[in-house]
Structure 1
Amino acid sequence: MLTRHPGPIVAVRSPLAGSKTRAAGAHRPRSTISRTGPVTKRTLTVGFIGLGSMGSGMTRNLQASGFPLVVTDVRPEAAADAVARGAVWVDTAAEVASRSDLVITMLPTPRHVDQVLRGPDGLLDALPSGGTWVDMSTSVPEVAERARAERPDLRVLDAPVSGMSVGAANGTLQIFIGGEADDVERLREVFEAMGEPERILHVGGHGAGYAVKLMINQLWFSHLIATAEVLSVGVKAGVDLEVLRRALVASPANSNFVEHDVLSILDHGDYDEGFALALACKDLGLSSDLARSVGMPYELSGLVDQQFRRAKAMYGERAGEMAPFRLYEDLLGEPLRRARAAAEVSR
């Protein structure tokens, strides 16, 4: 359950098993980060755990902004570029905590986050009293809730992102932050190193960031399935693909997906392998878990979930997140491509 937040959504600018409760702050050093003033690249060492397709770009931009980094990953080779740029490599999450002022996690699933928090040499025991943990993974509100219950002396923010690996590489991510407003403001410069200032949103209390990100993913995946269905039916009925798409763009049925995102498929046959279909299915599962936990129906999105899982069975876990579009192309008997793009490719 996410923590209710009384304030509005504002832009900030420039389901896990129980575990043994820890005594908050027992035998731990105090954090050296100021509780009042903003932190800057001159005063802060950032620990970063998880340098995959998203984390690699995020760390690159943190370094470009001048933040010293301490990093680790289950695959040391994933951190090679960051280390070559001057980041310090350590072997465990506990070492990251001991050598950093702030720790960011960017991990595939809640299970991976739990392992980093509570596994051998875990983060949760090693963070100093008053320390800061920011989870930028796509996860569930219970993750932050449990961490805060076990370590109420910590400052915790959930800050999942949107923008895919391209946004991570370009420093143009949208970031949805749940937690205390003072902590969000204090870390403004850190977030702005990774995202567009006007798209960094404080969306509510603890857990709200996770919830907002899951709802965004759920709706985007629904747009994908609806668009694939509409375009394939229209083309089968004899309408030119681009004529149909332009009619949709000019109509009340327009969406960012129809106007922009679908063009990666229609122009380039790119189903976004930078984000695996297995992870998309994971996110849809988390959305259904959230809906059940708050007692709300999930009927339409459940159908979307079925199509994504069907695509995973057909094309494999490593297929791109937009691979469910191929289900409709296969039924149509041809790929959906704009004629102009096809002509450009054939030159």
Structure 2
Amino acid sequence: MAPNLAIQKRVGFIGLGIMGQHMAGHILAGGYELHVNSRTRAKADALVERGAIWYESPGEVAATSDILITIVGYPVDVESIYLEPGGILDRARPGAVLIDMTTSSPSLAERIAKAASLRGMMALDAPVSGGDIGAREAKLAIMAGGDETAFSQVLPVLRLIGSNVVHMGQAGTGQHTKMANQIAIASTMIAVSESISYATRVGLNPDLTLDVLGTGAASSFLLNGLGRKMVRQDFAPGFFVHHFAKDIGIALNEAKRINLDLPGLALAQKMYERLLANGFGEEGTQALYRIYNRLHWSE
């Protein structure tokens, strides 16, 4: 009889933001013993009420977990919780599989994987795409880099939160794949904002226009999903502007390293930096629409 992984494996989850809360909830619902930590204790309350166990630090979660998942804000946060004294690598047990799902730098993912290997652990970089909706519906795309054996071991857990879970190659390739994803999104967000702004300015019914465009060659999740939010001037975050600006910066640094010019991404960076400068960093990426229509603009 095959072992019951849900009984055998204790899963740690660090980072309970817009996406992390849903992701951790799916793992808990899947029957795994869940150990959690987040910068804000209150974000764990609903999960604790359902049976999750709270710990005061990432290191404490690592010490009790067979599989550890992290999804935090910035590369500096990843580096801190993994590499600082008393952190994850100091306290995780040999044989543990560490999975960072933060969008972070490929070189940092490689450093963590190497450090984990020296301590008898395995590490994956496995960023996700799909935003809050994908997290809520367990339909995230998960792009993983690192040891293939480790990937196989944790695949049952990853399938609880993602509908498309792919092993991309060695350490760092998950992050490189996410960079390619963010590059595609950046220029598409410009295109969607411009399309809807044009339609509105010439007097078209924007909802009717989206009904047509959304079934043709221009159809995409961004047009059909975030385009509708632009029309309603709904800028509530599914993915924060400040996090997307961070991702663009990582991608441009990687492009510079490989001597690749990405003018579309460079333009998107300037536009998202304008949003940040005007105080819209906590809004969703669809707030780019503000620039074209001077919505509540301070400049």
How far apart, CA to CA, are the structure 2 residues paired with 1:38 and 1:174? 27
Larger radius of gyration: 1
1:251-306 CA distance string (max 9 Å, x none): 5444342244312322x432242422111111111111121122211212100111
Structure 1 residue identity aligned to 2:10: T
Q: Which has the higher helix share?
A: 2
Residue among 145, 152, 155 paired with 1:178 = 145
1:46-102 CA distance string (max 9 Å, x none): 011111111111111111110101111222112111211111111122211211111
Contact 2:98 2:123 survives alignment (8 Å): yes
Match of 2:292 in 1: 328
Match of 2:159 in 1: 192
| CA gap 1:135/1:39 in 2 versus in 1, 3 angstroms | farther
The equivalences for 1:157-168 within 5 A come to: 157-168=124-135
How far apart, CA to CA, are the structure 2 residues paired with 1:38 and 1:298? 49
Contact 1:93 1:116 survives alignment (8 Å): yes
Residue among 10, 14, 19 paired with 1:45 = 10
Cα deviation, residue 143, structure 1 = 1.7
The equivalences for 1:132-151 within 5 A come to: 132-151=97-116
Residue among 307, 311, 316 paired with 2:280 = 316
Match of 1:26 in 2: none
Contact 1:102 1:131 survives alignment (8 Å): yes
Contact 1:50 1:72 survives alignment (8 Å): yes
Contact 1:40 1:190 survives alignment (8 Å): no
How far apart, CA to CA, are the structure 2 residues paired with 1:38 and 1:277? 43
Residue among 233, 243, 247 paired with 1:269 = 233
Contact 2:113 2:171 survives alignment (8 Å): no
Contact 1:73 1:79 survives alignment (8 Å): yes
Contact 1:281 1:309 survives alignment (8 Å): yes
The equivalences for 1:106-255 within 5 A come to: 106-152=71-117, 153-196=120-163, 199-242=164-207, 244-246=209-211, 248-249=213-214, 251-255=216-220
Cα deviation, residue 39, structure 1 = 7.4
How far apart, CA to CA, are the structure 2 residues paired with 1:47 and 1:326? 39
Cα deviation, residue 243, structure 1 = 5.5
Superposed CA RMSD in Å reads: 2.2
The runs of 5 or more residues in structure 2 that have no matched partner are none
Structure 2 residue identity aligned to 1:45: R
How far apart, CA to CA, are the structure 2 residues paired with 1:238 and 1:83? 51
How far apart, CA to CA, are the structure 1 residues paired with 2:67 and 2:223? 39
How far apart, CA to CA, are the structure 1 residues paired with 2:132 and 2:208? 31
Contact 1:312 1:319 survives alignment (8 Å): no
Contact 1:92 1:121 survives alignment (8 Å): no
1:118-149 CA distance string (max 9 Å, x none): 23421111122232100011111112211123
Match of 2:69 in 1: 104
Cα deviation, residue 250, structure 1 = 5.5
The runs of 5 or more residues in structure 1 that have no matched partner are 1-36, 334-347
- Is 1:257 aligned to residue 249 of structure 2? no
- Is 1:298 aligned to residue 265 of structure 2? no
Contact 1:160 1:209 survives alignment (8 Å): yes
Cα deviation, residue 173, structure 1 = 1.6
TM superposition score normalised by structure 1: 0.78
Contact 2:196 2:227 survives alignment (8 Å): no
Q: Secondary structure at the match of 2:17?
A: coil
Structure 2 residue identity aligned to 1:300: G
How far apart, CA to CA, are the structure 2 residues paired with 1:119 and 1:78? 24
Contact 1:38 1:186 survives alignment (8 Å): no
- Is 1:73 aligned to residue 4 of structure 2? no
Q: Percent identity?
A: 30
Contact 1:44 1:102 survives alignment (8 Å): yes
Structure 2 residue identity aligned to 1:325: Y
How far apart, CA to CA, are the structure 2 residues paired with 1:304 and 1:52? 25
Q: Which moved more, 1:89-98 or 1:40-49?
A: 89-98
Q: Secondary structure at the match of 1:284?
A: helix
Contact 1:69 1:88 survives alignment (8 Å): yes
- Is 1:280 aligned to residue 244 of structure 2? yes
Contact 1:38 1:187 survives alignment (8 Å): no
How far apart, CA to CA, are the structure 1 residues paired with 2:129 and 2:11? 21
Q: Secondary structure at the match of 1:121?
A: coil
How far apart, CA to CA, are the structure 2 residues paired with 1:85 and 1:299? 48
| CA gap 1:79/1:43 in 2 versus in 1, 3 angstroms | same
